[in-house]
Amino acid sequence: MALNEPVYIESFKKGLLKKKAEAAWDILKSCVLCPRKCGVDRQSGETGVCKTGMNALVSSYNPHFGEEAPLVGSHGSGTIFFTHCNLLCIFCQNFDISHQGYGEEISNEQLADLMLQLQNLGCHNINFVTPTHIVPHILKALEVAVKEGLSVPLVYNSSAYDSVETLRILEGVFDIYMPDFKFWSSDNAKLSCDAEDYPEVARNALIEMHRQVGDFEIDESGIARRGLLIRHLVLPANFSGTQDVLRFIAQKVSSNSYVNIMPQYRPCGRASEIEALCENLSSDDYEKALQMAKSEGITRLDMPRRVFMVR
Tell me what the pLDDT averaged over the chain comes to: 95
Residue 99 in this model has a pLDDT that exceeds 60: yes
Average pLDDT over residues 244-258: 98
CA distances from 142 to 76, 126, 195, 201 (A): 20, 11, 30, 26
pLDDT at 308: 38
pLDDT greater than 90 at residue 70 = yes
Which domains can be identified in the chain, with CATH numbers?
7-26+58-301 (3.20.20.70)
Under 8 Å between Cβ of 261 and 293: yes
| Residue 3: pLDDT over 70 | no
Confidence of residue 242 (pLDDT cuts 50, 70, 90): very high
Q: Give yes or no for residue 310 having a pLDDT over 60.
A: no
Distance of CA 290 to the CA centre of its chain: 22
Tens of pLDDT, residue by residue over 142-193, are 999 999 999 999 999 999 999 999 999 999 999 999 999 999 999 999 999 9
pLDDT at 1 over 60: no
Q: For residue 306, what pLDDT is reported? A: 45
Q: Given this model, what pLDDT does residue 4 score?
A: 77
The answer, yes or no, to whether residue 303 has pLDDT greater than 80, is no
pTM tops 0.85: yes
Q: Cβ neighbours of residue 15 under 8 Å, at least 6 residues apart?
A: none
Q: Is 65 exposed, middle or buried (0-12, 13-18, 19+ CB in 10 A)?
A: middle
Average pLDDT, stretch 210-225? 96
